[in-house]
Amino acid sequence: MTIAALDRAHVWHPYTQHAVAPDAVPIARAEGALLFEPSGRPIIDAISSWWVTLHGHAQPEIAAAIAEQARTLEQVIFAGYTHAPAAELAAGLAARLPAGLDRVFFSDNGSTAVEVAIKMALQYWVNHGAPRTSIGALEHAYHGDTFGAMSASARSIFSAPFTQHLFDVVRLGDPTDFDVVLKALDAAPPLAAVIVEPLLQAAGGMRVWPPELLRAIRERATLLIADEVLTGFGRTGPLFACETAGVTPDIICLSKGLTGGFLPLGATVVRDEIFEAFLSEDRRSTLFHGHSYTANPIACAAGRASLALLDEASAAKRENIKLLNEFYLRALSSHPCVENARVIGTIAAFDLSGGSRDYLNPVGPRLAAFALERGVLLRPLGNVVYVLPPYCITTEQLDTVYGVIRSFLEDAL
């Protein structure tokens, strides 16, 4: 049987309505910004394979680090044991993060990094003997698909079947409305924490919001959780989006690009004050959370290699992508179907006018299919079109991506 046939018979894909979706596209290998079908046909990965591929596919330095580590130590329990890849990655993160974020708790992915952060924040107050039970979160937020992360996220079709099982949060409004958010925050009861996606709400529609509001939230929030699962590692320009606002959160959540896109790994990094609230001779103050593959040595080795690649050359690539995105969006903005064109770092987005403004708008799958026929991977969020490439993408490849988008606007619409 072919890969496609085996997949069709046995696999359940994420975010996929199998009753109407086309067959999954088999990919045999990848290199740089390109994916290759078994036939050899290349596809430009314009969305970093769901926002994870940082430097490029099959990046040699990361592949070599994984191979070397797999021959040495592939896994060990992380409760009571440690190893060089985890300790060195933790130290490397602490050195690159905003000053004061020094203690790293490893997990498996973005959702679990957020789950850990929420549990830390809630238990922090319990351990201090002054429990706070409410979390503040922004409208349009998306923090993941596990239950705590869903609770902090905006209510949507993603979470609708589980509404009665989610805990309530204090919803602070749309972050593009400065005054509404601050009024809601000032009127809120004492909160255990406020959680935000700094400067960019990605799954919520690639919504860009101002650093001035992030600074104002930081001033008011006793504990601030920054979900930088997408925005971390240079996606918005600086290594971390919080840096644009000159803000240091109390807790930061990392994943996606953490290993350069090679392996799943999450990290929740906190200030020492948070960690110290869990230190006690009473073992009931322990953070009782963990994963079988916490700090997997191979994943940590990938993370260590990826972090080393975030150098001046990487910063120059990111700046070039930003300039190219701005150039291409200026040209597209004159089209009558294009609204609210925006660029933040390596990410460009715009809204398609007409039709519903939600995830189920059929224009998204139409554009995705149109692009795939022309050798480009795009995955719009409903009517929101975005380009979020790996840092190695070339000018010629980006020109092709925008050429496909331009053709769709001119021909299909």
CA 405 to CA 337: how far, in whole Å?
12
In the set 45, 108, 227, 250, the catalytic residue is: 227
Residue 112 phi/psi, 5-degree rounding, is -70, -30
Token look-up 């990605």 returns: 202
Distance CA 316, CA 321 (A): 9
From the list 393, 401, 345, the residue with the least C-alpha distance to 377 is 401
DSSP string across 173-242: --TT-HHHHHHHHHHSPPPSEEEE-SSEESTTTSEE--HHHHHHHHHH-SSEEEE-TTTTTTTTSSSSTH
Task: Please name the residues in contact with 183: beta carbons below 8 A apart, sequence gap of 6 or more.
Answer: 173
User: Is 119 one of the annotated active-site residues of the chain?
Assistant: no
Cα separation of 338 and 329, whole Å? Answer: 9
Examine the residue annotation and report whether 142 is marked as an active-site residue of this protein.
Answer: yes
The helix, strand and coil proportions of the chain, stated in percent and rounded to the nearest 5, come to 40, 15, 45
Question: Pick the catalytic residue: 108, 124, 142, 402?
Answer: 142
81 is catalytic: no
Active site residue 15: yes
| Catalytic one of 15, 23, 183, 272 | 15
Q: Tell me which residue of 389, 96, 368 sits closest to 261, measured CA to CA.
A: 389
| Catalytic residue chosen out of the listed positions 108, 250, 256, 328 | 256
Backbone angles phi, psi at 30, to 5 degrees: -150, 155
Contact present, 241 and 207 (Cβ < 8 Å)? no
List active site positions: 15, 142, 227, 256
